[in-house]
């Protein structure tokens, strides 16, 4: 298994291009199941999760073609992928494929909408909590599907006349639930109203693409979304929005090490709450047409008090990275995690580097320390892994981050992007 070795101490200076968002690319790719025509996606990041989803979609009958490199494109220029599901050849999403990635469960919605049936293994994904799918199943039932659990699989069947529009009122904000509702309702008969919908930018990106395919969705990005069902969807060409979590991660890395980096292509409105917090820690943020510039020169790291919330609040997917930054703050910070009940698995690994963090239920108290020291560490999920990279960049000596496959799920060309800005990061191939 590959590992990454980081020798701490360097400041970061230069330009980091921001990739297309993993969490937008995945539902966009799944939307290809809704039409027999070609969906062309641009700026798709080169990530293990994208590859895995291509395998899953291929199993359902989606033909994919990845465009070759054009002049001037580098290995980090997002890929263009054409997806065409002329017909759905298999409505089962098997355990071996789905258990590795949470988002793959969302195929349930387009499969039932288009083929009338789906048999989908209960999902896997990052180990950050129990992560039930009850609200996704509620969506399918509200739209008229019969839902049963058989041998670890969810079997959902549309009524004879197909899915019917309905009122869906989510008791809590769920990104996956909202994606599912959008993809199930676009082909349903009549109107669907979603209340308490997730307002995340990735939901808006999916709705924009579905509308380009001929859907009639209004209000995406607000709590109430209204969908008028249509008879069929066609092809479209859509560019994946930039990854706000990747941008926030590198912003925190620069706030940690000091230096000055342009996050090229990052869009500030997608991560304003995180940028506000980074400014409160003492870094400077400036915004231009090129992206977001982050700088910390000579100022220490100030402690902050942060609570994770659904968009537009501070994202849970940046909580671990912020915690890493705050391990070196001048004072005590408080981080409250309200989205996932088990998303503090990075605490014990950050402790190996010398951090001082106390857990009290859903709150982590981070006492800033003068010095971190390198150590072998092992992360249990994607964002936890990258939080260890951030801490390692500021630690004395070498840190080896094991289980790099977590990083490869969500960070495109991490070593190259950090390396070009002066960090000493090296991938060690293992057995
Ligand atoms: C691939 C992808 O886009 N993943 C993101 C997505 O995950 P995901 O879509 O899985 O997260 P949700 O927004 O659905 O989860 C929010 C909360 O709702 C709960 N819940 C969810 C569904 C359900 O049926 N029942 C239920 O109780 C979850 O356990 C959690 O406590 O949004 C999360 C919250 O922003 C992010 O951390 C993930 O990176
Ligand atoms: C939790 C994440 O991914 P997933 O939902 O696929 O587990 C993430 O992107 O941080």
- pLDDT the model gives residue 341: 85
Model ipTM value: 0.98
Q: Is 381 annotated as a binding residue?
A: no
Mutational pocket test of ligand 1: of 50, 176, 198, 321, the residue with most ligand atoms within 8 Å of the beta carbon: 176
Cβ burial of 160 (10 Å; 0-12, 13-18, 19+) is exposed
User: Is 126 annotated as catalytic?
Assistant: yes
Question: Which domains can be identified in the chain, with CATH numbers?
Answer: 3-18+242-428 (3.65.10.10), 22-239 (3.65.10.10)
Q: Parallel, antiparallel, or unpaired: how do β-strands 424-428 and 356-360 relate?
A: unpaired
Per-residue pLDDT, averaged over 99-106, amounts to 90
- Which ligand is located closest to the Cα atom of residue 106? 1
Per-residue pLDDT, averaged over 408-413, amounts to 94
The reply to whether ligand 1 has any atom less than 6 angstroms from the CB of 314 is: no
- Which ligand is located closest to the Cα atom of residue 124? 2
Check if the beta carbon of residue 166 is closer than 8 Å to that of residue 143: yes
Q: How confident is the model at residue 218 (pLDDT cuts 50, 70, 90)?
A: very high
What single DSSP character describes residue 164?
A: B
Rg (CA), the chain: 22
Q: Is 390 annotated as a binding residue?
A: no
Sheet with 63-66, strands from edge to edge, namely: 63-66, 79-84, 38-44, 236-239
Q: φ and ψ at 405, to 5 degrees?
A: -60, -25
The reply to whether ligand 1 has any atom less than 6 angstroms from the CB of 129 is: yes
Above pLDDT 70, what percent of the chain?
96
Q: Is 132 annotated as a binding residue?
A: yes
Alpha-carbon span 20 to 263, nearest angstrom:
13
The reply to whether ligand 1 has any atom less than 6 angstroms from the CB of 25 is: no
Q: Residue 125 C-alpha to ligand 2 middle, in angstroms?
A: 6
The reply to whether ligand 1 has any atom less than 6 angstroms from the CB of 409 is: no
Alpha-carbon span 218 to 158, nearest angstrom:
24
The reply to whether ligand 1 has any atom less than 6 angstroms from the CB of 123 is: no
Per-residue pLDDT, averaged over 47-58, amounts to 96
Alpha-carbon span 205 to 226, nearest angstrom:
16
Q: Is the pLDDT of residue 30 over 70?
A: yes
Q: Residue 174 C-alpha to ligand 1 middle, in angstroms?
A: 5
Q: Residue 102 C-alpha to ligand 2 middle, in angstroms?
A: 7
Closest Cα partner for 25 from 106, 90, 98, 127? 106
The reply to whether ligand 1 has any atom less than 6 angstroms from the CB of 271 is: no
Q: φ and ψ at 84, to 5 degrees?
A: -140, 115
- Residue 317 CA: which ligand 2 atom is closest? 10
- Residue 23 CA: which ligand 2 atom is closest? 9
The reply to whether ligand 1 has any atom less than 6 angstroms from the CB of 150 is: no
- Residue 198 CA: which ligand 1 atom is closest? 13
- Residue 176 CA: which ligand 2 atom is closest? 5
Task: Return the structure tokens found at 353.
Answer: 């580097």
Instruction: Give the residue, by CA position, lying nearest to ligand 1 atom 27.
Output: 132
Q: Is 414 annotated as a binding residue?
A: no
Check if the beta carbon of residue 271 is closer than 8 Å to that of residue 300: no
Q: How confident is the model at residue 298 (pLDDT cuts 50, 70, 90)?
A: confident
Per-residue pLDDT, averaged over 124-139, amounts to 81
Q: Is the pLDDT of residue 72 over 90?
A: no
Instruction: Give the residue, by CA position, lying nearest to ligand 2 atom 10.
Output: 317
Q: How many CA atoms lie within 13 A of 375 on its CB side?
A: 16
The reply to whether ligand 2 has any atom less than 6 angstroms from the CB of 154 is: no
User: Rounded mean pLDDT of the chain?
Assistant: 95
- Residue 23 CA: which ligand 1 atom is closest? 3
Instruction: Give the residue, by CA position, lying nearest to ligand 2 atom 5.
Output: 102
Above pLDDT 90, what percent of the chain?
89
Residues 6+ apart with CB under 8 A from 303: 281, 326, 329, 330, 331, 332, 333, 366, 368
Q: Is the pLDDT of residue 73 over 80?
A: no
Mapping DSSP onto H, E and C, the string for 351-418 reads: HHCCCEEEEECCEEEEECCCCCECCEEECCCHHHHHHHHHHHHCCECEEEEECCHHHHHHCCCHHHHH
Instruction: Identify the active-site residue in 115, 126, 253, 270.
Output: 126
């Amino acid at each position: 298994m590959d590992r990454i070795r980081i020798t701490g101490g360097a400041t970061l200076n230069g330009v980091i291009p921001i990739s297309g968002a993993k969490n937008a690319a995945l539902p966009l790719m799944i939307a290809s199941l809704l039409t027999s025509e070609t969906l062309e996606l641009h700026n798709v990041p080169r990530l293990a999760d994208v590859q895995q989803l291509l395998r899953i979609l291929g199993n359902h009958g989606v033909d994919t073609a990845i465009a070759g490199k054009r002049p001037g494109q580098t290995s980090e220029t997002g890929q263009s992928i054409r997806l065409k599901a002329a017909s759905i050849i298999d409505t089962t999403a098997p355990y071996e494929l789905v258990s590795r990635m949470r988002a793959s469960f969302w195929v349930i919605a387009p499969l039932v909408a288009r083929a009338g049936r789906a048999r989908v293994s209960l999902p896997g994904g990052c180990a950050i909590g129990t992560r039930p799918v009850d609200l996704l199943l509620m969506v399918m039932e509200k739209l008229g599907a019969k839902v049963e659990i058989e041998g670890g699989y969810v079997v959902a069947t549309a009524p004879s006349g197909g899915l019917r529009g309905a009122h869906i009122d989510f008791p809590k904000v769920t990104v996956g639930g909202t994606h599912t509702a959008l993809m199930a309702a676009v082909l349903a008969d009549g109107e669907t109203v979603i209340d308490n919908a997730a307002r995340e930018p990735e939901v808006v990106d999916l709705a924009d693409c579905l509308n380009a395919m001929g859907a009639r969705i209004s209000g995406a990005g607000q709590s109430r979304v209204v969908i008028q069902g249509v008879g069929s969807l066609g092809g479209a060409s859509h560019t994946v929005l930039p990854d706000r979590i990747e941008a926030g991660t590198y912003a925190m890395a620069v706030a940690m090490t000091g230096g000055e980096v342009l996050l090229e292509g990052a869009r500030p409105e997608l991560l304003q709450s995180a940028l506000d917090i980074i400014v409160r820690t003492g870094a400077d943020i400036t915004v231009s047409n090129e992206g977001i510039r982050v700088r910390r020169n000579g100022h220490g790291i100030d402690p902050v008090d942060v609570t994770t919330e659904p968009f537009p609040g501070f994202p849970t997917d940046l909580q671990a990275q912020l915690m890493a930054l705050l391990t070196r703050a001048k004072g005590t910070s408080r981080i409250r995690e309200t989205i996932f009940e088990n998303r503090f698995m990075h605490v014990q690994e950050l402790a190996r580097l010398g951090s001082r963090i106390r857990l009290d239920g859903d709150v982590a108290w981070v006492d800033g320390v003068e010095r971190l020291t390198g150590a072998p560490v092992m992360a249990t999920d994607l964002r936890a892994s990258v939080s260890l990279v951030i801490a390692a960049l500021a630690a004395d000596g070498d840190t080896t981050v094991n289980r790099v496959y977590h990083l490869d799920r969500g960070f495109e060309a991490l070593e190259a992007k950090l390396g070009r800005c002066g960090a000493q990061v090296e991938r060690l191939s293992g057995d």
